[in-house]
Structure 1
Amino acid sequence: MVSALTKRPCAYVALGTQRYRVRHVSDPMLSGLSDVAVLGDRIVVLRRQAPELVILGPNGAMSGEGTDLPQFVCGHGLRATSANQLAATDMDGHKIVLLDETMHEITRMDCAERPGLGRPFNHPCDCTQGPDGRYYVADGYGSSAVHIFDPELRHLKTFGHPGAEPGAFSTPHSLLFDGQGRLCVADRENNRVQLFDGDGTWLGQIEGLYKPMALALTPDGLLLVSDQTPRLSAYTPNGDLVGRCRTFSTFGHGLAVQRDGTIIIAEMNPDRVTLLIPVPEGDTF
């Protein structure tokens, strides 16, 4: 018989030589979550119901703070584009809303509620900002394309189309720029991450994934990819796989990384936030 005073062991995972201690954060305010981002010392969770934004402390502690996005229909993607700005994607409202550090709208990209195939927007999934200030939107569920906007949010070009060949997409679900200035796109239904330059020229791809969901970068430049296995994979800039671990719910739908290397996963079914906290070298279990 296990004593009520017996401390249960923590779970540990490893990505390459780095070990992580697993911490799950469950709370009714996290139900319906979709994505997660880090803004300063805060963890910001995007949900598909009000309040759409929920704030956690740096260690994952629930703050009780929530912010409504009344302009949203159904939130999907959330990404920090700078130290004081978030890009929040409204999948069914066909828009991207840029938020300041107080979670108030700065401006937006939208289609005046006129979605269309191959043009902005048609059920977008994610938005990121490139090194030169341009914005990139994965128009994932309806158009299977990526749209490029200048820093003033003027549409410049669209690349990609439905298909499976290099440069085509089937649900571009998440995107970011890596440390080499390449645009990485999680091409979910094609089971790969595609790599492009900033103008949409195809550079290569990472395969061996099962419906990749979310992308993030570690402080030392590893590309993290969650997929529907469910698992989390880490790749070098050369595309070499250095480590894998499982995620703990059905889907790791969103990813973010803190400055100290803590990996944050927005997990669905059950809905919760999971932190993978780096274990210093030499620490024992």
Structure 2
Amino acid sequence: MARFWVCAAGAGFLLAFLALHSRLCGSPVLRKFTFQISWRTEKILYRLDLGWPKHPEYFTGVTFGVAADSLSGLVYVAQRGDNIPKVLVFTEDGYFLRAWNYTVDTPHGIFAASTLHEQSIWITDVGSGSYGHTVKKYNSFGDLVQVLGTPGKKGTGLNPLQFDSPAELYVEDTGDIYIVDGDGGLNNRLIKLSQDFMILWLHGENGTGPAKFNIPHSVTVDSAGRVWVADRGNKRIQVFDKDTGEWLGAWNNCFTEEGPSSVRFTPDGKYLMVAQLNLSRLSIMAAPPVGSIGACSVVSTIQLADEVLPHLLEVDRKTGAIYVAEIGAKQVQKYVPLNSCVPSSGS
């Protein structure tokens, strides 16, 4: 009998050691084994970086968007409020660098589109002031470089181009731009622009059918040439061919409670990260193979505290870290992959 209890205690110690080791950046083999013996519970793929940022007091407004520049290692946060800086700049380790508040009225989405030759920050401005209803390009120090749309005038026009409530954009390495214009207001459309700002294709009808939208809120592009749109009001994600704009399919079976508010792919293309605002939840979904959309499959979730309200998220294309702009908590939080051996900012 004594031998039995010794063996049981040893087995329990081994299981506890394997679980701890997997959490602390252990080998993939041990991590896989740990998940297999964990009574098939949901996989835990990310952990909160408690040390990011170093000084949260710099968040002085409502944080609506976040962008990660993987080339420079910088993170840009867009926040709203009176008499506060609208853009905060941090290092990926969480150190505050600078802030700027030029020609930004009411920021919504923000995107870093840097190359080896140029660092660019794009912001969608949904304000009603003289800089509102536009999509604007800045350099990394906040100098205004380009304005798309008609400043201060909302509308539906395409020549000249007008916006009402442009929610977010995604800029490819080629310079092509995808804009979802429809966070309420006049428009419910997806527009693709060339790098010289010519309209290549668009889908612009309000409705529930294929290629129609009800509050298109976020957009991203995968490595297979597919454009993914968070069609929030219709509780689905719609998918299009990036070259032709052809509708390829939709995911709706994962969004019975609430529609998606943000979409981004992990660097390896294996997962689609999705935020659901009012559920305060991040879902990690398996990306479909090339040539098939199929139905969505949730691999893992990150349940945030009540009323945190994750609005838009970003995934660093180099480290795989997730940055979440939370309008309820008025902060940005960082999650790092468990399979990464890169020390977190709190280490």
Same fold, TM exceeding 0.5?
Answer: yes
Aligned 8 A contact 1:52 1:75 in 2? yes
Match of 2:249 in 1: 204
- Pick the aligned partner of 2:147 from 108, 113, 119: 108
SS of the residue 2:152 aligns to: coil
**Partner Cα distance (2:42, 2:196) in 1:** 39
Cα deviations across residues 65-98 of structure 1 (Å, max 9, x unaligned)?
Answer: 21112x2221100012234222111012111111
Q: Does 1:268 align with 2:327?
A: yes
- Name the aligned partner's letter for residue 262 of structure 2: A
Deviates most, 245-254 or 167-176:
245-254
Match of 1:3 in 2: none
Cα deviations across residues 198-235 of structure 1 (Å, max 9, x unaligned)?
Answer: 23211111222222111222122121110121211112
Structure 2: 5+ residue runs without aligned partners? 1-22, 24-40, 289-295, 342-347
Per-residue deviation, 1:103 = 2.8
Match of 2:5 in 1: none
Q: Does 1:193 align with 2:237?
A: yes
| 1:77-156 map, 5 Å | 77-83=109-115, 84-92=119-127, 93-117=132-156, 119=158, 120-130=162-172, 132-140=174-182, 141-142=184-185, 143-156=187-200
Deviates most, 183-192 or 24-33:
24-33
- Pick the aligned partner of 1:74 from 95, 106, 111: 106
Aligned 8 A contact 2:180 2:190 in 1? yes
Deviates most, 223-232 or 96-105:
96-105
- Percent same amino acid among aligned pairs? 25
Q: Describe the shift of the 1:112–1:105 C-alpha distance in structure 2 as closer, same or farther (beyond 3 A).
A: closer
Match of 1:54 in 2: 88
Alignment TM-score, normalising by the size of structure 1: 0.85
**Partner Cα distance (1:215, 1:15) in 2:** 21
Aligned 8 A contact 2:59 2:331 in 1? no
**Partner Cα distance (1:100, 1:111) in 2:** 20
Larger radius of gyration, structure 1 or 2?
A: 2
Per-residue deviation, 1:241 = 2.3
- Pick the aligned partner of 1:242 from 291, 295, 299: 299
Number of matched pairs? 269
In proportion to residue count, which structure has more helix?
A: 2
- Pick the aligned partner of 2:214 from 170, 176, 191: 170
SS of the residue 2:104 aligns to: coil
| 1:214-225 map, 5 Å | 214-221=262-269, 222-225=271-274
- Name the aligned partner's letter for residue 61 of structure 1: Y
Aligned 8 A contact 2:62 2:331 in 1? no
Match of 1:6 in 2: none
Aligned 8 A contact 1:184 1:195 in 2? yes
SS of the residue 1:27 aligns to: helix
Q: Describe the shift of the 1:131–1:200 C-alpha distance in structure 2 as closer, same or farther (beyond 3 A).
A: farther
Q: Does 1:42 align with 2:100?
A: no
Cα deviations across residues 101-133 of structure 1 (Å, max 9, x unaligned)?
Answer: 333222121124332236531111111124643
Aligned 8 A contact 1:188 1:213 in 2? yes
**Partner Cα distance (1:77, 1:56) in 2:** 17
SS of the residue 1:189 aligns to: helix
Structure 1: 5+ residue runs without aligned partners? 1-11
- Name the aligned partner's letter for residue 302 of structure 2: C
**Partner Cα distance (2:101, 2:139) in 1:** 14
- Name the aligned partner's letter for residue 256 of structure 1: E
Q: Describe the shift of the 1:213–1:94 C-alpha distance in structure 2 as closer, same or farther (beyond 3 A).
A: same
Cα deviations across residues 168-208 of structure 1 (Å, max 9, x unaligned)?
Answer: 11111111111211111111111111111123211111222
Match of 2:292 in 1: none
- Name the aligned partner's letter for residue 165 of structure 1: G
Match of 1:277 in 2: 336
Deviates most, 175-184 or 155-164:
155-164
Match of 2:13 in 1: none
Q: Which runs of 4+ in 1 moved over 6 A?
A: none
Deviates most, 16-25 or 169-178:
16-25
